[in-house]
Amino acid sequence: MSEYRVVGKSVPRVDARDKVAGKCLFGADIKLPGMLQGRMLYSTRPHARILNIDTARAERLPGVRAVITGKDVPRRRFGTIVQDEPVMALDKVLFVGDRVAAVAADSLDTAEEAVSLIKVEYKDLPSLFDPREAMKPNAKVIHKDWESYGKGRFRTISDRAGNICGHSEFSMGDPEKGFSEADMIFEDEYTTPMVHQGYIEPHAATAMVEPSGQITVWSTTQGQFELRADLAGLFELPMSRIKVIPTEIGGAFGGKIAPLLEPACVVLSRMTGRPVQMVMSRRDEQIAARPRHPGLMRIKTGVKKDGTITAREVVIILDSGAYADFGPGAAYAAAVGGRGPYAIANARMEGFCVYTNKPSGGSYRAPGGPQVTFAIESHMDAIAEALGIDPLEIRLKNGLKEGDISYIGKRIERGALRDTLHRAAEGIGWGEPKEGPNRGRGLASAQWSNGGAAAGLTVKINDDGTASVVTGSVDATGSNTVIAQAVAEELNLPMSSIQVVTGDTDTALNAPLTGGSMIAYNMGKAAMLAAQDTRRQIMEVAAERLGVEQEKLRMENGQVWVKGEEDKRLSLGSITRTAQRFRGTLIVGKGSLPAPAPAFMMCSQGAEVEVDTQTGQVVIHKLVASHDVGFALNPDSVEGQLQGGMVQGLGAALMEDVRLNNGNVENPSFKDYKIPTAVDFPSIETSIVEQNSEEGPYGAKGVGETPINPPAAAIANAVYDAVGVRITDLPITPEKILEALREKADT
């Protein structure tokens, strides 16, 4: 680490003070002259034909400026993978929460009252709530016109047919032979519920359509370029006519990628000639946003007596809800990762994403990952127990190691899984005596790959030698800090001399959306390259002005010095100003890269729990994570990412569950839908393994997604270790534990 000056150091986040002080401008903070407030009317039926929408009373309400329904919006549909989602329901509603109408009014109160005055006449249709039912050949097809739907950006990701909007299948080796060589075959089924990203800031969008037709959209989006592309497609406009300005983002975790409010805001603004803002309520968020897909995992593994896995079959069924969104991608990721971080020569994996009349699932930190990891890692412990092998041992035995080929086709150089397993086990005192009864320890490992995306970024030297960096990436988790670090490193400048701003779709170069653990890996690299390009330009001018070869120069602390001649030097400000004035050279570096190969990450986590056998309550005493992050660009920031992901994983393990009753969300508030708070988890220990990636900046890999994968299995395994019951359907509620304890006592 010592070879670097700024990267690899835990410098404070550049946005820390302003965020903590509550001074950043989030989506709902946008204020424009004459701005109207919008509200959406959501469907109250899970599946119904719209016979009539009577907006007359709403329109007559003083202060109401426009009311729109499906007839006022583009007929085109949007979608990342399958273009199946209308801006507003066109003739049918497909879930409770489908967008039916929207209002723009002078005040939020008026808009809400107007929404309550809209009368919708529905004709109910039979609903499908179980993806297994929906997959049946004779099932009613929810999207009658599915064959006519266009394909989105990720067009080639999977097949589809009827209610199956995504299907991915992978096969390797000879699964039949593998199973025939096994001493024992284990089959299990696991389920995970719908869980919500629980970001604190709700969706917020503001649109201003000018008389010229020029559209400006402010959105708490994870990707301004994707949103612009979606809007350009929907409204059939050139991108030059649309500007998307990403606001500060108060949490997203995948939930703020696809358009949600923006198209309706654009239509309302176009109609009223006024800016229109929409902010979702928490209830809106819980019923009409894009949570994690419920998963059903069937897993079958053949093993030798010594624990060696000979074959595996995994089928993952994700419940897509009403629309596909990123569901087929999640099913793909779950299937491709169906072997876990293990070397399994013979395998068959299949992932399905299936339409139902439920809220549409979307992206949520490691889409597909937590579902399949819960299954694999619970299953591993079940096998270990049946074989009488230590859970740590069976993982070490089968884990991907030096020389193995990872899922992304690269040879693994060093045994990162082994390192992380040992550290996680050690962290929870694996094998040591326990401090009391009903205590248990569990391990779980996982793999993930970060995305590789073409990325670009510019570094401009200001007239005083400080630097302005424009990135097209949204800073959700400290990425602007990492970008500043890379620039500070390469230009040998203090962090305070570097200002990183997130640009809009006009001012920034194209950047990937903030997701897929992509930003540090791709934009960090672009920042490094841009700063190197900037440095080259500076050195060229300095060499000319100082009359020496570039090799004789060094750059430090805002100065370029002639080595060994301490009095011969120029400040970056002077270099910049004279370059501009006399050469017409504006010192601005561009860093851009083609989509790099993804990096493959492995990790292990351990949990020590105590189960109250009277109440069924699980108390987490210790949570430990050991992750290979390639190179920790900012160790504190990495630790924060790991902890944050694990807390979300813990929520999904123990408490979170969007409960539906006939398609209605029963717990649409944080009062009923509990997410972990500080009292629910212990301090979390993290341990970083650094096996440098080939293509990431300074060897870094992605960090954001992996930590959410193992917690549920680690906790479930610890619960089993503590009280001998295995919960296979998340969340692990006290009720389920008590029930399982009763069953166990009965047998």
Give SS3 for 209.
strand
CB closer to a copy of itself out of 339 and 525 = 525
Residues 241-280 contacting a copy of itself, CB under 8 A:
241, 243, 273
**DSSP string across 330-374:** HHHHHHHTTT-SB--SSEEEEEEEEE-SSPPP---SSTTHHHHHH
The site map against a copy of itself for 628-647 (x = CB under 8 A) is --------------------
Residues 646-685 contacting a copy of itself, CB under 8 A:
none
Q: By CB under 8 A, name the one of 169, 393, 404, 506 that touches a copy of itself.
A: 506
Amino acid at 75: R
Q: By CB under 8 A, name the one of 191, 468, 571, 613 that touches a copy of itself.
A: 468
Q: What Cα–Cα distance (Å) separates residue 175 from each residue in 133, 203, 565?
A: 28, 45, 70
Rounded Cα–Cα distance for residues 503 and 510 (Å): 10
Phi, psi values for residue 467, rounded to 5°: -125, 140
Q: By CB under 8 A, name the one of 119, 403, 501, 615 that touches a copy of itself.
A: 501
Q: By CB under 8 A, name the one of 1, 31, 563, 744 that touches a copy of itself.
A: 31
Strands 559-562 and 553-556: what pairing? antiparallel
Task: Tokens for 100, please give them.
Answer: 């039916």
Q: By CB under 8 A, name the one of 211, 409, 547, 564 that touches a copy of itself.
A: 211
Give SS3 for 571.
strand
Q: What angle do CA 337, 340, 345 make, to 5 degrees?
A: 90
**291, containing H or E segment:** none
CB closer to a copy of itself out of 26 and 129 = 26
- What is the 8-class DSSP label of residue 519? I
Residues 569-628 contacting a copy of itself, CB under 8 A:
580-586, 588, 590, 592-595
**Using an 8 Å Cβ cutoff, are 229 and 222 in contact?**
no
CB atoms within 10 A of CB 454: 15
**40, containing H or E segment:** strand 36-42
CB closer to a copy of itself out of 581 and 671 = 581
Q: By CB under 8 A, name the one of 101, 205, 389, 498 that touches a copy of itself.
A: 498
Q: By CB under 8 A, name the one of 149, 190, 225, 235 that touches a copy of itself.
A: 225
Residue 52 makes contact with a copy of itself by CB under 8 A: no
Residue 200 makes contact with a copy of itself by CB under 8 A: no
Minimum distance from residue 385 beta carbon to a copy of itself (Å): 48
Q: By CB under 8 A, name the one of 10, 214, 662, 669 that touches a copy of itself.
A: 214
Give residues with Cβ within 8 angstroms of 133, minimum separation 6.
139
Residue 177 makes contact with a copy of itself by CB under 8 A: no
Residue 108 makes contact with a copy of itself by CB under 8 A: no
CB closer to a copy of itself out of 353 and 570 = 570
Query: Where would I find the H helices in 616-697?
Result: 635-654
Minimum distance from residue 217 beta carbon to a copy of itself (Å): 14
Rounded Cα–Cα distance for residues 539 and 536 (Å): 5
Residues 427-466 contacting a copy of itself, CB under 8 A:
454, 456, 460, 462-464, 466
**409, containing H or E segment:** none
Residue 181 makes contact with a copy of itself by CB under 8 A: no
- Which residues on adjacent β-strands are paired with residue 191? 296, 729
CB closer to a copy of itself out of 590 and 736 = 590
Residue 563 makes contact with a copy of itself by CB under 8 A: no
Residue 528 makes contact with a copy of itself by CB under 8 A: no
> Applying CB under 8 A, what is the total number of residues that bind a copy of itself?
62
In the chain the first and final C-alpha atoms are separated, in Å, by 56
Phi, psi values for residue 196, rounded to 5°: -105, 145
- Choices 23-31, 312-320, 402-410, 674-682; region in contact with a copy of itself by CB under 8 A: 23-31
Rounded Cα–Cα distance for residues 240 and 493 (Å): 36
Minimum distance from residue 625 beta carbon to a copy of itself (Å): 30
Q: By CB under 8 A, name the one of 10, 180, 240, 615 that touches a copy of itself.
A: 240
Give SS3 for 250.
coil
> Which residues of this chain interact with a copy of itself, rule CB under 8 A?
14-18, 20-21, 23-25, 29, 31-33, 210-212, 214, 225, 229, 232, 238-241, 243, 273, 454, 456, 460, 462-464, 466-468, 470, 496-499, 501, 503, 505-510, 580-586, 588, 590, 592-595
